[in-house]
Structures are given as structure tokens and as C-alpha cells.
Copies of this chain bind each other. A is one copy, B any other.
């Protein structure tokens, strides 16, 4: 049985303020939790699951026996951020990622400026993971990685891709020898330009695009050519098309 204090604590992790205060966050659902349990580098803080789920996944839970809390489905509903909770929720410690500068200098990384929509950010994480991109740098005003909608939309990619919040100018200054591409209307046609296999790809805010200040730091402006009449592409969609072309040129 869950105490009121536990329910209150888990629900508080829906707010960034408390995620920072406790240095914890939640992740839910069979697929994501299985990935967490199989990941040797991640030690869950608590695992709340139904009796059936615990029985079905006994071997994976073995080494975490002291951390498992069996709950009813109705209790799970009280701590879940999902409309229809799955049978398991884990509490994890927030990461403390440092970039691997050798990889950043020799591979592609993403730089997100003021990305606000958690679904977009989670999808960008999932896409980066698909294309083997290991670092995502975020301006400090991007949506929080540990927002439950980001975690769920990332489909487990939050376990593999390093997300680092910093000032964009200092990120770009630290990597002054590699190209800095920015997705912008009026840039060079993505499909006709010469593409380096390394560099930073900057994606701007959903409504406003890349800021003037960041635009000045770009070495290349790129555009996804349009054949229609719509004004813009969704930010996660633009990111995916650019990553796909960079990885396959």
C-alpha cells in the first residue's frame, strides 16, 4: 500500500522544481523500464509495479528486490503521469552528463535553441538515437529532459543520448574548429550542398526559429527545399530530415 507521502512525492516529480530539488525523475511503461533494468549503468531508485508485472519480469527484478514496491493498478494510477498507466513506473536519479569532446569534435551533434514542446524534444532524442548521434546540447530555456512527456516520447533514447544544458554561445565557442550548421529559411539547399561528416546542427525554436544572436555563430545556413505552400516544418521533422541526409551523404 502506498502512503500519502509517497504519492505526494512521486507526483511532485511532475514539476521541474521538485525534480531538481530531489534530483530524481520518473519513467513509465514496460518497454522503457525493461531498457532501464537491462542497462548496467543505471540503478533505479524505486520500481513501482503490479504483482502481475513483477511475476512476468522476475529475473530482471531479482537484483533490485529491495527497491521493488508492489502496487495495485488503482494505486499506480495515483502516481502515474500517463492517462492510461502501464504496469510499471520507476524513479531514477537525474544524469550528470559531461560531453565527450573527442566524439563532439569528430562526429555530428545537435544543438537545440529554445525547443519548448516536450513531444518534439522526445522525438528529437529518439531520432538522434536512431542515427547514432551521441550528444544533444540544449539552451537553458529548452524544455526539461526529465519532463515525463519528453521521457515517454523518447522511447528509451534518454538512456543513450547525452543531453547537456549550457549557453549556446559557449558550446559553439568550445567547438570552433568544426562546422556549425543551422536550419533556416533562405539557407543553402540541404540536398545540393557539400556536407561534412562532423559538426554541430542547430535547430531553432518551434515558432521563431534560430535567434539573431545564434545565427551569427553559424558557419553554414541550410534549408530543406519545399514543393508546397506551407510556411514551415515541425522542428522534430526538420531535425530528422537533416540528420538523415547528413548520415547518408
Contact = CB atoms under 8 A, between A and B. Distances in A.
Given A126-B234, A127-B237, A227 B119 contact: no
A129 B226 CA distance: 9
A220 interface: no
A157 interface: yes
A208 B133 CA distance: 25
A155 B195 CA distance: 31
Nearest to A227: B132
A170 interface: no
Interface string A128-153: 11111100000000000000000001
Contacts of A123: 234, 236-237
A187 interface: no
Contacts of A2: none
B191 A230 contact: no
A241 B131 CA distance: 12
Contacts of A132: 226-229
Contact of A228 (B160, B191, B233): B160
A230 B76 CA distance: 27
A84 interface: no
A236 B240 CA distance: 10
Given A119-B119, A244-B245, A131 B228 contact: yes
A99 interface: no
Contact of A241 (B128, B227, B232, B240): B240
A156 interface: yes
A232 B126 CA distance: 8
Given A126-B230, A129-B229, A230-B126, A224 B237 contact: no
Contacts of A224: 130, 244
B126 A227 contact: no
A38 B232 CA distance: 18
6 contacts: A119-B119, A126-B233, A130-B224, A132-B226, A225-B248, A241-B241
B244 A227 contact: no
